[in-house]
Amino acid sequence: MARTFDKSFTQQEPILEAAIERAAEIMKSGRLHRYNVVPGETSEAAQLEEEYATWQGAQFCLATTSGGQALQIALRAAGVTVGTKVLANAYTLAPVPGAIHAVGAEPVLVEIDANWHTDLDDLRAKAATSGARFFMLSHMRGHIADMAAIVSICDEFDISLIEDCAHTMGARWNGIRSGNFGRVACFSTQTYKHINSGEGGLLTTNDAELASRAVVISGSYMNYAGHGAIPAEDVFQQTRLESPNCSARLDNLRAALIRAQLPLLEDNVRRWNERYFVLQSVLSKVAGLRLPERHQHEGFVGSSIQFQAIGLGAQRIPKFVDACGSRGVDIKWFGADEPHAFTSRFDSWAYLNDIPELPSTKQTLATTCDLRVPLTFSTADCRLVAEIVGEEATRLSNS
């Protein structure tokens, strides 16, 4: 009998008791809305903003309803409007093109290379030909491109860099936290990310004007003074009437869940990487599977692992995914023509005006397989998962 794996790839760890207690207290108070405070009280959401700004090492922070909303707010607050061109690496999740589209802007999709990074030559070429002055860089699946090179291209073309750190909360490049390279960064605390509040997002920046706009756009009405980690009143005086209210505030309940998890993040990064390295060590020995080359400066968070099933080729991957699935191992394939569950390829975003040919991205994704690494897996679980993947890859490449 072939061994099977029986844990769920989507099972998160329970919410901490301390967070449940705090959430219960907030519910008993009835003051769930972030501006519903008694005199002298700082809301849970505002406390979160202070703490996250400190943790991230950014001056300003805004809590939002989702990571996707943080992206939209970041774009608007940075000055993106109808018809503005926004460069974006084509390997990402649907909320990224969705956010660009929602503000009426036009994405200019950029190729990725074989290591799932933005292709620097294509970025430079498209920055030159499109004239785009914004780049929404999604650190997709935690693969961090050479940030020195990215920043230098952005400087050369006077491009505002907006970082999508949904998969790099807690990661670093050359010792600097992901999210501290551009004008503004966005994070998600949706259930499958590095902090779990069900839904939620965070935006950080050192740009005072952008921060003030973001706060008002998030739906502060004229209650912006009730935020933590914001610029001074005179900055708001210049921006408050020009910024539309797009209602995307975080409530106190979710803020309590995030606050309780933040102190554990650093240790959770270590726990994810411990699991990642077990998976990597087994998978890297399997003939026909290619694992990413990681730059020495990349301090990633191994909350998922990608590999290319080069030996199988795109034709045999559906069979491989099914075979692993029947043994309890849930593989996502980024090469499928049809979008499936959370996974979609750039050429399925049919609402975009212009979907370019991206042969390099398509080639990389054709054999790209992805496994979630939940913290509810032990390292022994990770070993079994990797061995099952290896056995099926070997069996099918010989068939």
Residues that bind ligand PLP (CB under 6 A): 66-68, 92-93, 95-96, 138, 140, 164, 166-167, 188, 190, 201
CB burial of 190-227 (b: ≥16 within 10 Å; e: otherwise) equals beebbbbbebbbbbbbebbbbbbbbbbbbbbeebbebb
- C-beta separation of 10 from 374 below 8 A: yes
Nearest residue (CB) to ligand PLP, 164 versus 251 = 164
Beta strands in 105-156 (DSSP E): 106-110, 134-138
E strand segments, 72-200? 85-89, 106-110, 134-138, 160-164, 172-173, 176-177, 184-188
Distance (Å, rounded) from C-alpha 87 to C-alpha 95? 15
Q: How far is the CB of 141 from ligand PLP (least distance, A)?
A: 8
Least Å distance, CB 214 to ligand PLP, is: 16
We find the least distance from the C-beta atom of residue 138 to ligand PLP, in angstroms, to be 5
Of 68 and 228, CB closest to ligand PLP: 68
Residue showing the smallest CB distance to ligand PLP in the complex: 67
> From the CB of 190, what's the least distance to ligand PLP, in Å?
4
Contact by Cβ (8 Å): 201, 67: yes
For residue 380, the minimal CB distance to ligand PLP (Å) is 28
* Three-class DSSP category at 160: strand
The smaller minimum CB distance to ligand PLP, of residues 44 and 164, is found at: 164
Which three-class secondary structure state does DSSP give residue 282?
Answer: helix
Q: Give the span between the Cα atoms of 336 and 324, in whole angstroms.
A: 16
Q: Cα separation of 179 and 147, whole Å?
A: 11
Beta carbon nearer to ligand PLP, 12 or 281: 12
Cα separation values, 327 from 6, 284, 392, Å: 8, 20, 10
Amino acid letter, 10: T
* Residue with Cβ nearer ligand PLP (36 or 348): 348
Q: Which is nearer to ligand PLP, 166 or 369 (CB)?
A: 166
Nearer to ligand PLP, 105 or 286 (CB): 105
Minimum CB separation of residue 220 from ligand PLP in Å reads 20
Are the C-beta atoms of residues 103 and 72 closer than 8 Å to each other? Answer: yes
Minimum distance between the CB of residue 66 and ligand PLP, rounded to whole angstroms?
4
How far apart are the C-alpha atoms of 273 and 280, rounded to whole Å?
A: 10
CB of 196 to ligand PLP, least distance (A): 11
User: Shortest gap between Cβ of 219 and ligand PLP (angstroms)?
Assistant: 16
Nearer to ligand PLP, 196 or 397 (CB): 196
Residue pair 52/62 in contact by the 8 Å Cβ criterion? no
Nearer to ligand PLP, 86 or 96 (CB): 96
CA distance 236 to 278: 50
